[in-house]
Amino acid sequence: SPDLCFAHTGMFQEMVKSECHFINGTNRLRFVKRFIYNREQYVHFDSDVGRFVGDTLYGEKVARYWNRDPEWMEYRRAAVDRHCRHNYELSSPFLVER
């Protein structure tokens, strides 16, 4: 409708990005999961911190909510082994040993 303002007709984007940081093979790993809305990171999980951290006011609310759930937090903390170590072991013959 022509009477809608641009804010109601624009495109909005949500993105989740997972990163594994390998330091000295798998001896030292760091897992970071970033939650981004419209190019602004609002909350992230950092395995070095062990919990979600809010990057905006809304992200702080989301982080408090997610950090309260012990089952969800255990799942997130296990991502270092489940996601990073597993993928490292699969890909290291192709990437590291070349």
Distances (CA, A) of 3 to 9, 15, 40, 77, 81: 10, 30, 28, 48, 52
Query: Where along the chain do its domains lie?
Result: 14-95
| CATH class as words, domain 14-95 | alpha beta
More confident residue, 45 or 11: 45
Q: Which residue has the higher pLDDT, 26 or 7?
A: 26
pLDDT tens, position by position, 15-69 = 999 998 888 766 788 999 999 999 899 999 999 999 999 999 999 999 999 999 9
Q: According to the model, what pLDDT value does residue 98 have?
A: 55
pLDDT of residue 1: 46
pLDDT over 90 at 94, yes or no: no
pLDDT at 4 over 70: no
Report how far residue 69's alpha carbon sits from residue 1's, in angstroms, rounded to the nearest whole number.
42
